[in-house]
Copies of this chain bind each other. A is one copy, B any other.
């Protein structure tokens, strides 16, 4: 019989949501999270927390959800599974700062169970990750983010960071633009128990990744929050946010999963930034700070 991590995972994401929201509110100093609890037709619901128009954060969403019921056929196909009775829960966050010198960040930690007709678990896996999307490249910020994640991964097993860093570069890729969404981080999915790594190993790994989120990101916010910027910097940020929107609406499997599983639209699309801009055929000047970013997005680097 397979042990369920349902209640442990729900406890983990509830407490992580609290930690992250209170830390962000404190850092922001002006705005507070609005809490929206919602129910899903078909089973489950979630707690959406949104902060908009802050002093530091233009828009931040930190959502938890736990949904269950029957998996639509299209999602069985997407997940490559035969069973239709499922439970899924997770925490998903996106932070869009005002200041173009502070990067946008996204993170997600999730757990999935599938059942047979007798309500017995027949399959379970963990997934998640976090990734950074800067508008201007400060190598020390990217190094801090990656090094912190690498250290957290290495505490569990050597080689995990390298594997999930590569998966992140591959996943968060705007194929139609031939460029990465950002400077990466970690992406892992379908972490199922094996002989080498049992379910307890993966559970602890994902919990640890969740707990590594704040220390991987907040020092960057603290370092850049007083950096002055002008309209040009802001416009560049808004153009780059357009690429973020393109990725989320065209390529992101999480968004697609949400839309197909009749998730709550406003909670799914909270990932989209407040103000976005599309300028025809915009290319930064050669040698500019803006172009420096593009070069890294065209050719993902090893950071840690």
Contacts and interface: CB of A to CB of B under 8 A. Distances in A.
Given A276-B278, A278-B276, A281-B36, A259 B269 contact: no
B280 A266 contact: yes
Contacts of A272: 242, 278
A279 B51 CA distance: 11
Given A249-B246, A250-B259, A276 B277 contact: yes
A52 B249 contact: no
Nearest to A255: B250
Interface in A258-289: 259, 265-266, 269-270, 272-281
Contact of A280 (B59, B238, B246): B59
A259 B280 CA distance: 16
Q: How large is the interface on A (under 10, 10 to 19, 20 to 34, 35 or more residues)?
A: 20 to 34
A176 B259 contact: yes
A298 interface: no
Contacts of A250: 249-250, 259
Given A245-B245, A246-B249, A249-B250, A276 B275 contact: yes
A50 interface: yes
A35 to B, nearest CB: 12
A157 interface: no
A36 B36 CA distance: 47
Contacts of A176: 259, 265
A177 interface: yes
A266 B281 CA distance: 6
Interface in A24-38: 34, 36
A61 interface: yes
Contacts of A259: 176, 250
Interface string A159-187: 00000000000000000110000000000
A50 B280 contact: yes
Most chain B CB neighbours (cut-off 10 Å) among A52, A176, A242: A176
Contacts of A277: 274-276
Interface in A205-260: 238, 242, 245-246, 249-250, 259
Nearest to A276: B276
A242 B270 CA distance: 12
Contacts of A246: 249, 269
A52 B277 CA distance: 12
A61 B273 CA distance: 24
Contacts of A269: 246, 278
A238 B275 CA distance: 9
Interface string A135-175: 00000000000000000000000000000000000000000
Those 7 A-B pairs whose CB atoms lie nearest each other, nearest first: A249-B249, A272-B278, A266-B281, A276-B276, A50-B280, A176-B259, A249-B250
Interface of A: 34, 36, 50, 52, 59, 61, 176-177, 238, 242, 245-246, 249-250, 259, 265-266, 269-270, 272-281
